[in-house]
Structure 1
Amino acid sequence: MKKALIVAPAWIGDTIMAQPLFARLHAQSPGLVLDALAPRWVAPVLGRMGEIQAIHDNPFGHGQLDLKGRWRQARELAAQHYDAVYVLPNSLKSALVPWLAGIPRRVGFTGESRYGLINVRHTLDKIALPLMVERFAQLAELPGAPLTRPVAHPVLRSTAAEQQITLAALDMTRPQRLVAFCPGAEYGPAKRWPATHFAELAKRFAADGYAIWLFGSPKDHAVAEEIGQLAPGLTRNLCGTTTLDQAVDLLALADLVVCNDSGLMHVAAALDRPIVALYGSSSPGFTPPLSNQADILSLELDCSPCFKRTCPLGHLNCLNQLLPDQVYAACCQRLSTCP
């Protein structure tokens, strides 16, 4: 195999967890040219992976069929003469363009009855492969072959030069001590630790001499503003004011990252930053932060994980009862500068 294509997931965290697969494909085929087909909001993290050479834009939204557009894109990809494609999402639509492009070897899980579209079909064994990173890595094996373990942790690149370029572009300097908060979660509010708790934690860190930067998408700007209002003058709201590339570089500068189960949690893990990850409605048994420097906090209530976007019981006890004192104590175990 000389040239292959990745059809990337639509979520930042999922895409990061696919990086060990990319590394395995390169190890199996030295000199491999590996490109990606990805939504534009995911492309920046692929650009921070040394295994990916070129990124093609996947413009099709969730549920959008647009056969004419997919045919047009398939013709463009056919001209690239890929030997193989690895289709990471399990939907039928995600496999259409590679099939229309005539890529001869089309690898993926059977998914939504994709028998004609995927011709190197893996059958998912959720018990044997509990982690998403393992499921992606399995695609480097032949169907039916056991996964070669261990699976390496994902890695993203952020060099000192890239960090300085980002700081200069944003007219920022790195403070002597820096803690990053990632208070959002794209999936829904049942994964978000309360703003009041984040604000109380900010007060603790500010008293210890830390600057607190808040990261997230434009959708997270309002909750970051709420945290700032509850902890006046102690935080800097960067939600929606940086590109994802810039967020990668700024997170790489942090002494510690406190985050919900979110895409930025996986970014911080892949940058090997110390992390305290807060889990409510979701489970670290499937998509944990893959790092030797990550601590996971979960109350493990009887009602969780429910995997719902909003609390079906209306109380969100799984996060409301995870108190700032508990989180601060876990943070201090990762930092040598706490009292």
Structure 2
Amino acid sequence: MALAAKKILIVGPSWVGDMVMAQSLFIVLKQKNPDCIIDVLAPAWSLPILERMPEVRAGIAMPVGHGKLQLGMRMQLGKTLQRERYDQSIVLPNSLKSALVPMFAEIPERTGWRGEMRYFLLNDIRLLIKRNYPLMVQRFVALAYPPGAELPKQLPYPKLVVNQDNVPQLLQANKLGSDQPFLALCPGAEFGPAKRWPEAHYAAVAATYIQRGWQVAIFGSANDHAVAESIKAALPLEQRPACINLAGQTALSEAVDILSMAAAVVSNDSGLMHVAAALQRPMVVVYGSTSPEFTPPLGDNVAVVQLSVDCGPCFKRECPLTENAMKCLRELKPEQVIQSLDSLC
């Protein structure tokens, strides 16, 4: 009689980029055990991303907001999940709160990094030696292996599935020509302004490609709409019709499908950067206060540009300098990005 497939509950991260990188873990789990069943407990916003990961059976919306305890609600969710009879839980965030639901669900094997004193919540607790796993994606994937295991030199990259049936109507509805290449700009960064390349620099790149006959589409959340409008307003008047502001105008799943058709992408270090990489788009990523040595874009056709400055990378949300503020991004000129992009396309 065949054994039942192992059922695994992943407690997913809270940020778009981290959730995309977590797909590398899901792929490895399937490689090691093709019959395993993977469900992911995650914020509701991430369910459309999880639907584009064929390794995931189901996304389960976490009813508790990021950073909130709401112990009773977590306990009730855990009790509800008991009926699934999961064999293992892998907890990706390092917070104590994130490990509560698997314990309440009475999942027998609960795996995760030590984090916030989680000794009584996790029973397969790992001590992270950062030099062994310097990349976030390595720290995710390592939880699929025994403690201290040496990982494969090349980890599988995230690869999101596109709903091809949606693409033509989405392009038409958003005034993007299917017979005309478009450059995708991702100028936002939820982390903070210290990761955002100046709007004038984005506009200079956009103007160059519009002059070459391309369209430009600006992606982002509703919080990025004003930034996108600033980029568009910085273009010469005659070029503005060729620039489409999609920030806050599309659902995340729609943005994935449209972005899959971009001829090239320029992005800050952001969640959409990881989405574009998982769609295998040619992309240049501009780094400011953060570093590609921890969360690089996971793709083969990607170039990273970053200035070496004496004050960085500082990993601050806002630039701490009062004089020569944001020099790591301000002094990184559009010509450098255009040159890097031209080498990819």
TM range (shorter): over 0.9
1:96 to 73, 97, 100: 100
1:111 and 2:121 are equivalent in the alignment: no
Deviation at 1:205? 0.7
Deviation at 1:29? 1.8
User: Following the alignment from structure 1 to structure 2, what is the Cα–Cα distance between the partners of residues 167 and 67?
Assistant: 44
Q: Do the aligned residues in 1 keep the contact of 2:27 with 2:156 (CA within 8 Å)?
A: no
2:204 to 200, 203, 223: 200
1:247 and 2:255 are equivalent in the alignment: yes
One-letter identity of the residue aligned with 1:275: M
User: Following the alignment from structure 1 to structure 2, what is the Cα–Cα distance between the partners of residues 83 and 330?
Assistant: 47
Deviation at 1:173? 4.2
Q: Do the aligned residues in 1 keep the contact of 2:28 with 2:156 (CA within 8 Å)?
A: no
2:181 to 149, 167, 177: 177
Q: Percent of aligned pairs with the same residue?
A: 48
Partner of 2:224: 220
For residues 222-263 of structure 1, what are the alpha-carbon distances to aligned partners after superposition, in whole Å with 9 as ceiling and x for unaligned?
Answer: 000011111141411000000110111111000100000000
1:264 and 2:284 are equivalent in the alignment: no
2:304 to 280, 296, 299: 296
Partner of 1:9: 13
3-state secondary structure, aligned to 2:296: coil
One-letter identity of the residue aligned with 2:19: T
3-state secondary structure, aligned to 1:156: coil
User: Following the alignment from structure 2 to structure 1, what is the Cα–Cα distance between the partners of residues 295 and 271?
Assistant: 10
- Relative to structure 1, the CA distance from residue 308 to residue 157 in structure 2 (aligned partners, 3 Å threshold; closer, same or farther) is same
Deviation at 1:168? 5.7
Instruction: Compute the TM-score of the two structures, normalised by the length of structure 2.
Output: 0.94
Instruction: Compute the TM-score of the two structures, normalised by the length of structure 1.
Output: 0.96
One-letter identity of the residue aligned with 1:325: E
For residues 129-176 of structure 1, what are the alpha-carbon distances to aligned partners after superposition, in whole Å with 9 as ceiling and x for unaligned?
Answer: 111111101001112322233211111111432423543665754351
User: Following the alignment from structure 1 to structure 2, what is the Cα–Cα distance between the partners of residues 310 and 198?
Assistant: 19
User: Following the alignment from structure 1 to structure 2, what is the Cα–Cα distance between the partners of residues 83 and 274?
Assistant: 40
One-letter identity of the residue aligned with 2:183: V
- Structure 1 residue ranges without an equivalent (≥5): none
User: Following the alignment from structure 1 to structure 2, what is the Cα–Cα distance between the partners of residues 175 and 133?
Assistant: 36
Partner of 1:149: 153
Partner of 1:332: 342
User: Following the alignment from structure 2 to structure 1, what is the Cα–Cα distance between the partners of residues 198 and 97?
Assistant: 37
For residues 60-106 of structure 1, what are the alpha-carbon distances to aligned partners after superposition, in whole Å with 9 as ceiling and x for unaligned?
Answer: 22321111111111111111111111100000000001101101111
User: Following the alignment from structure 1 to structure 2, what is the Cα–Cα distance between the partners of residues 7 and 139?
Assistant: 12
For residues 261-318 of structure 1, what are the alpha-carbon distances to aligned partners after superposition, in whole Å with 9 as ceiling and x for unaligned?
Answer: 0000000001100000000000000001111100000002111110000000131000
1:321 to 316, 324, 331: 331
1:78 and 2:45 are equivalent in the alignment: no
User: Following the alignment from structure 1 to structure 2, what is the Cα–Cα distance between the partners of residues 290 and 192?
Assistant: 20
3-state secondary structure, aligned to 1:41: helix
For residues 20-66 of structure 1, what are the alpha-carbon distances to aligned partners after superposition, in whole Å with 9 as ceiling and x for unaligned?
Answer: 11111112222111111010122221111110011110122232111
Which stretch shows the higher mean deviation, 250-259 or 117-126?
117-126
Residue pairs, 1:48-63, within 5 angstroms: 48-63=52-67
Partner of 1:135: 139
User: Following the alignment from structure 1 to structure 2, what is the Cα–Cα distance between the partners of residues 262 and 180?
Assistant: 14
Q: Do the aligned residues in 2 keep the contact of 1:120 with 1:143 (CA within 8 Å)?
A: no
1:43 to 39, 42, 47: 47
- Relative to structure 1, the CA distance from residue 178 to residue 130 in structure 2 (aligned partners, 3 Å threshold; closer, same or farther) is same
3-state secondary structure, aligned to 1:161: coil
- Relative to structure 1, the CA distance from residue 5 to residue 168 in structure 2 (aligned partners, 3 Å threshold; closer, same or farther) is farther
Partner of 1:306: 314
- Structure 2 residue ranges without an equivalent (≥5): none
- Give the aligned CA root-mean-square deviation in angstroms: 1.4
3-state secondary structure, aligned to 2:56: coil
- Relative to structure 1, the CA distance from residue 164 to residue 32 in structure 2 (aligned partners, 3 Å threshold; closer, same or farther) is farther
Partner of 1:236: 244
Deviating runs (4+, > 4 A) in structure 1?
168-173
3-state secondary structure, aligned to 1:147: coil
